[in-house]
Amino acid sequence: MREPSLHIREKELALVLKDIKKFYDINKISTEKLATIILNKSKGKSCNNRLVIISNEKLNRKTNQVLKSKKEDASLLSSLIYMLRQKKKHRGITRIDQDHRDWPKLKKLALVCLDFCNDNNLDKKAGFIRYLQIGLDKITSYRNYIGKLLDMAESINQEYELLLQIQDDTNKPETQEIHDYYVSKISKNTGLSENYKNKPNKYISFIKVRELTDELDIPFDIYIDAQFEALAWANSFPDPNQLVGDKAMERLNKYLYENKIRKKGKKEIKTNDELKDALLKLKLKTRKK
């Protein structure tokens, strides 16, 4: 059985005792009986927000734990930022501690990084490092860089998804070959030396080209040539992100038509073998130029 208890304000208790003294001689009753009388008289006067106070105390303890957790996460993040910036050989690096003006922003960034870890099922330290690596590589000026890392949350998540797709590429050698062929075309036409291997938002297009040319059963160099030739009139070349899509297919079909890939004399090519044979001849023809 639950033992009776009392939680009452001093002012209310004084009124209860005053009322008891009107009817009882306190000096002549036992302490046990007096306690019972006080409990009975206090009914309706006890604090009805006791549970709220207790709950608030528990909530405060929990909040303190959360704040402590945020502090620990922010401290970890600060150490990792310092380490990564050292690896990049940055000068004048200052470790962000609790007295630093960017500490509040760092705590917010820690929460963003935790979300990144949860969304991508990453260990905390590994996830923090990955977020920072992607973000720091994007930053050119380190003025207010913590704020920039906060603002980059969406783009960092998107880039990480692209990196996973690149990592899961089922034919990495051919994708790289397509990339190398594409940049060699740019170099030949413009003299510019390009490399998109460290630009996931661009490199992903070469995976798409590989998948598409595999599906169409067309040599990738013919496909790339079609994209370049379609823009040659403007003395331009397609961006990697322009290599796939409806416009890219239009450029391919035009290229095949103009080079009579779809027709052999007046006879239309109907079989895959005939198409492959025509493509091979075109491939040899273009290489002789």
Q: What does the pLDDT profile of the chain (289 residues) look like in tens digits?
A: 345 566 677 777 888 787 777 666 777 777 877 777 777 666 555 554 444 444 555 445 444 444 444 789 999 999 999 999 999 888 888 899 999 999 999 999 999 999 999 999 999 999 999 999 999 999 988 888 999 999 999 999 999 999 999 999 999 999 999 999 999 999 988 888 889 999 999 999 999 999 988 888 888 998 999 999 999 888 889 999 999 988 988 898 888 888 776 533 434 444 555 555 666 665 565 555 5
CB 146 within 8 A of CB 106: yes
Domain ranges for the chain: 10-42, 66-165, 170-288
Nearest one of 165, 162, 163, 198 to 179, comparing CA atoms: 198
Distance in angstroms (rounded) separating the CA atoms of residues 95 and 74: 12
Phi, psi of 268 (to 5 degrees): -75, 140
**Helix locations, 24-102, DSSP H:** 31-42, 50-87
Report how far Cα 242 is from the mean position of its chain's Cα atoms: 25
Nearest one of 263, 255, 246, 249 to 225, comparing CA atoms: 255
pTM: 0.63
Nearest one of 248, 183, 239, 257 to 213, comparing CA atoms: 248
Nearest one of 252, 231, 254, 246 to 185, comparing CA atoms: 231
Phi, psi of 78 (to 5 degrees): -60, -45
Distance in angstroms (rounded) separating the CA atoms of residues 150 and 278: 54
CB 269 within 8 A of CB 261: yes
Dihedral in degrees, nearest 10, Cα atoms 272, 277, 282, 283: 90
